[in-house]
């Protein structure tokens, strides 16, 4: 799966679904990460690493530990994409 | 009920195992095991509040905790904090982890301790995941192991840091991120060093043990020795 094939929200849900062996539509955007069956720290780390590779971004560790919901993760990816794009444009 | 490490090998859904490491008691309970350790009525009430998808993990973890408390000679339920962490009875420090249908618990009597335990299956992490895990020097240690043992070392690092993180959440609201925890090898595990200026914890010994397809890590930190008053 290429994370660039859809929206950030779709790709976040897609990667979580692939990790948890379920359908993406079973993962609601407002779902608490702690409520997703089978999601633990190690799987979340794998999902974030996949998103980083797909979008060529680096997520700040401190922000990673503050994530609560699926939407938080999507917003974090959005923010990192935006900040790193602005950084490249200003160079 | 076996009390030696050999009973922990072949850890799986039917396992029941106990180990004493000094004052710390470690227990493992598989989801299909037969033990007398059922949930306390107050734990059943907490269970009802949990998302359905998380209930099996909750049950196996609490059963491991019941066995651990029974071994320590302590009664009472293990409730939950608003943040979802286990809340052990007064004067007991404890921690719970679960993986692949196995729950583990580590607990110790006394109010001066913070404890963390973690159980992970080997093979979930590769060198592609070092960015959010490794402190300087640790990636080289993983790479030096080669493709066969590298994933084992990755899991050892992760599990050790997860155990430290869980122990520190009982002491501080903001534990250090994994890359700020530097692990130095020592017999039976690692010594943890927290990056200067980040959170300021003293070195702590984290024990790590490979159990076939799993890695088990635990750490017991004395509160007084852990808090650096200069930070």
Rounded to two decimals, the ipTM of the complex is 0.81
Phi, then psi, of B6 in degrees rounded to 5: -60, -25
Those residues with Cβ within 8 angstroms of residue B199's Cβ, 6 or more apart along the chain or in another chain? B168, B172, B174, B175, B176, B180, B231
pLDDT band of residue A66 (cuts 50, 70, 90) is: confident
Which residue's entry shows tokens 């994933």? B151
Closest Cα of chain A to B84: distance in Å? 9
Residue B99 at interface with chain A, using a CB cutoff of 8 Å? yes
Average pLDDT over residues A39-59: 92
Closest Cα of chain A to B35: distance in Å? 24
What's the confidence (pLDDT) of residue B231? 31
Task: Say whether pLDDT at B201 is over 60.
Answer: no
Element (H, E) at B143: helix B138-144
d(CA A48, CA A37): 17
Indicate the range of A35-39, B74-78, B101-105 predicted with least confidence.
A35-39
CA distances from B221 to B35, B93, B107, B127, B201 (A): 30, 10, 12, 30, 10
d(CA B202, CA B33): 39
From B218, B105, B108, B211, select the one nearest B161 (Cα to Cα).
B218
Element (H, E) at B121: strand B113-121
d(CA B190, CA B157): 9
pLDDT band of residue B194 (cuts 50, 70, 90) is: confident
Chain A residues touching residue B120 (CB < 8 angstroms): 42
Element (H, E) at B79: strand B79-80
Those residues with Cβ within 8 angstroms of residue B231's Cβ, 6 or more apart along the chain or in another chain? B197, B199, B200
Residue A49 at interface with chain B, using a CB cutoff of 8 Å? yes
Task: Say whether pLDDT at B87 is over 70.
Answer: yes
Task: Say whether pLDDT at B158 is over 50.
Answer: yes
Closest Cα of chain B to A86: distance in Å? 23
């Amino acid at each position: 799966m290429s994370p660039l094939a859809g929206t950030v929200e779709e790709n976040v849900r897609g990667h979580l679904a692939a990790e948890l062996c379920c359908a993406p539509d079973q993962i609601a955007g407002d779902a608490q990460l702690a409520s997703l069956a089978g999601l633990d720290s190690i799987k979340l780390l794998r999902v974030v690493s996949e998103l980083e590779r797909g979008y060529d971004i680096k997520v700040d560790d401190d922000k990673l530990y503050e994530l609560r919901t699926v939407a938080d993760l999507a917003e974090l990816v959005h923010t990192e994409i935006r900040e790193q794009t602005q950084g490249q444009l200003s160079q | 009920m076996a009390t030696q490490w050999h009973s922990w090998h072949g850890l799986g859904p039917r396992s029941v195992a106990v180990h004493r490491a000094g004052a710390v008691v470690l227990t493992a309970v598989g989801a299909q095991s037969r033990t007398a350790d059922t949930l306390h009525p107050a734990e059943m009430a907490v269970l009802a509040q949990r998302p359905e998808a998380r209930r099996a993990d909750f049950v196996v973890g609490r059963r491991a905790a019941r066995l651990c408390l029974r071994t320590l000679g302590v009664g009472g339920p293990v409730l939950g904090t608003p943040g979802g962490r286990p809340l052990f009875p007064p004067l007991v420090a404890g921690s719970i982890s679960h993986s692949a249908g196995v729950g583990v618990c580590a607990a110790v009597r006394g109010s001066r301790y913070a404890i963390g335990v973690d159980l992970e299956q080997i093979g979930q992490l590769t060198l592609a995941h070092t960015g959010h895990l490794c402190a300087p020097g640790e990636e080289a240690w993983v790479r030096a192991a080669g493709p066969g043992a590298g994933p084992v070392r990755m899991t050892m690092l992760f599990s050790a840091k997860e155990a430290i993180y869980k122990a520190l959440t009982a002491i501080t609201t903001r534990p250090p991120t994994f890359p700020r925890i530097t692990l130095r090898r020592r017999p039976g595990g690692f010594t943890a060093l927290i990056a200067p200026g980040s959170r300021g914890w003293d070195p702590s010994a984290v024990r790590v043990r490979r159990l076939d397809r799993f890695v088990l890590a635990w750490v017991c930190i004395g509160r007084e020795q852990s808090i650096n008053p200069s930070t």
